[in-house]
Chains A and B, each alone.
Chain A
Amino acid sequence: MDQTLFILGVNHRTAAVAVRERLAYADGDVAPALARLKQRSASISEAAILSTCNRVEVIGVTTDPARALAESAEFIAADREVPLESFADSLYRLEGRDAARHLFRVGASLDSMVLGEPQILGQVKVAYASAAEAGTVGLVLHRAFHKGFSVAKRVRKATLIGHGAVSVSSAAVALAGQIFDSLADKTVMLMGSGKMAELTARQLRAIGIESLIITSRTFDHAVALARAMAGTAVPFDNYKPYLKIADVVIGSVAVTRPVIALDEFEAIIKERRYKPIFLVDLGVPRNFDARMNSLENVYLYDIDDLAQVVHKTRGEREREAAKAEEIVELELEAFWRWMNGLDLVPTIKDIRYSIDRLRDLELGRHRGWLAGLGPAERERVEVLTRGFTNKLLHRILQGLRVSGVNTPEGAYAAEVARRLLCGDLSGASAGLEALDAAGVSSEEDEDEFES
């Protein structure tokens, strides 16, 4: 029977974190686990394990999907020492095309908790690397994963799925970027000790703001934080003069009414000579008077405003996801053609080209001698060499047909033939790299794959 892909797993949609955390593997444990899986489960010919905080999946190749899925489930239960009954309802079982689609969608971050988040692709690459290390990757998984990487890359390039801010702090940072051009010469003032405020300040730091002023009701806290973040602490009863120089002010002080009166702030704005100021109000109750937003060149966003920006981004990412799904379907089609061994044509073309080239090279080497021959004799040499190369090609095609036209084995044989006949002999190295060079991943643009 034909080899096919299967996936068994749980993710953030099907299982609570309490279940996922018991099934998850640490990075270093994946390769040994794969070795155990391979030993235990006779029906699985290739396997990888993808384990992140949001999902645990066994991705494998088998000729008997029903058995492989059952064996994978039993393996996970035994290996993680979790009774199968406790998570059997959370498992999803996919095979064939559905499994390939799932793998591509996961890599393209279409199945992530935060749609379009970028970490997942790296995690899929790690899963592939661990499987390669364990020696459980064969031709099909190799091809499936690399196709998955190139799908993810194409989705990132062709859609805006990874754009926009998906958290309150990143929304504040993105807004700072829409107001200010260069951030290097700007100053952030952090008021209060809210965790989200601190995170926002750190993110602003990360994108280039250098100067940081910290003030807090408890001066010791401000000093400690200033030390940790290489900022300047100022006492809370003397922070107002610093509003004249700050460009971004993050408020998260516990207050019952705004920290500064509207008219007092207006005077400061005049003293600033209307230099734009971005007020990020993360306090509840709010730190700044909402009317400040209507002052000239003052931009005030409170926590609800930022949440709304995040909400909008999510909506936009969902719209982009529709485009991404189309890309996945297209690529899935190509991958599935390959799985069915229908894509022999390019290989055969390459082999023909390579053999014809060898013939031309040989004829070229004997150019001098050939020139001395009469036209009839030259014609004979031509016919003779062509006859020989055609016979050789015919034999190769027949051999490929014998190993099966519509099977991965056939495709594999074709790749080997291509590798033998078309490969660059100077850099010959064993293993998957050689298959790569022979063009297994020829339709993919260079992957940044590192393992």
Chain B
Amino acid sequence: METLWLAPALVCYALSAAIFIAGRLAGFSRAPGWATVLLGAGVVFHAFDLATRGLQAGNIPVANFAQALSFLGWLTALAGLVLIVRLQMAAIGAYTATAVALALGASTIMMKGGRIVLPATLQSVWLPIHVTLAILGYSMFVLAASVSLVYLAYESRLKAKRPLGPASERMPSLEKLDRINYSLLGWGFSLLSLAIVTGAIWADATWGHFWSWEPVESWSLAIWILYAGLLESRLTVGWRGRRAAALTIVVFVVLLGSFVGVALIYPGKHAGSFG
């Protein structure tokens, strides 16, 4: 299915990412402002696209992997905007906008034509709750990885005695980046936990069992355990700063692999083939 809004959304995201990156390389202080506006415009167009699809499907548009990816991109862009504007974290823009543009780009390529109808068994109030929680949780992890990348880049400059010059005085401090990373992980973990619980309740109501060891379920559990470990290491041994940032990125790569890999390789309810 085509909507009018997808192309402008994609263009806005791509331009936003390009300007964030170019601004960073050239040290142009106005670039983040423009890029943020473009990211916001992308979110608006994208919202129209999702709303059009949702109205047609009669539920949130997450019937297949491509749509789920698009939804993830939108939530990430929206949450990223909040971070950039409210917490003055324009530094993450280059990573976040790129991730969003890639997600929507991939989603557009994979988007199948024709009308996608959810099977009746999945048409339930649990669908928006479970899926939104899961995807919102994932978007927190995307942002945490963005923040961690900024942290690592910034930290290595400070260690190498090449601190950022006056052009970047509004750069968030390491402490702030670390703190935001921690709270994003906390939010992501809580949302993922809720997604797993609501998924289990829904599965029980529909199929009569909580857990079927489907690939997505198993991987979600694995990822849940990894993030739990990440949060725990901070609280107990005090792993923070660079180590926490590096681990956030490692765990995110595992998440990304499972999200893409499992959905594409293994058919199942979660991959949109409803077998």
Chain A residues with CB under 8 Å of chain B are 160, 163-164, 174-175, 177-182, 272-276, 293-294, 296-297, 299, 301, 305, 308-309, 312-313, 316-317
Contact = CB atoms under 8 A, between A and B. Distances in A.
Contacts of B175: 179-182, 276
13 contacts: A163-B167, A164-B165, A178-B163, A178-B164, A178-B174, A274-B238, A274-B239, A275-B238, A276-B241, A296-B243, A309-B161, A313-B166, A316-B165
Nearest to A276: B241
Among B163, B175, B242, max chain A CB count under 10 A is at: B163
B173 interface: yes
Interface string B145-189: 000000000100011010111110101111110010000000000
A177 B179 CA distance: 15
A128 B241 CA distance: 52
B161 A178 contact: no
Q: Which 4 A-B pairs have the closest CB atoms?
A: A273-B238, A163-B166, A164-B166, A181-B175
B125 interface: no
Interface residues of B, number: 25
B240 interface: yes
Given A178-B173, A181-B176, A305 B161 contact: yes
A301 B166 contact: no
Interface of B: 29, 154, 158-159, 161, 163-167, 169, 171-176, 179, 237-243
Nearest to B235: A273
Given A274-B238, A275-B238, 5 more contacts: A178-B173, A179-B174, A274-B243, A294-B159, A312-B165
A301 B161 contact: yes
Q: Of B29, B174, B239, which is in contact with the most chain A CB atoms at under 10 Å from its CB?
A: B174
A296 B159 CA distance: 10
A87 B110 CA distance: 81
Contacts of A276: 174-175, 241
Contacts of A312: 165
Contacts of B154: 178
Nearest to A306: B161
Contact of A316 (B167, B239, B241): B167
A175 B163 contact: yes
Nearest to B169: A163
B241 to A, nearest CB: 4
A174 B173 CA distance: 11
B230 to A, nearest CB: 14
Contacts of B29: 160
B158 A299 contact: yes
A296 B174 CA distance: 13
Nearest to B240: A274
B240 A297 contact: yes
Given A274-B239, A301-B161, A305-B161, A181 B166 contact: no
A90 B268 CA distance: 87
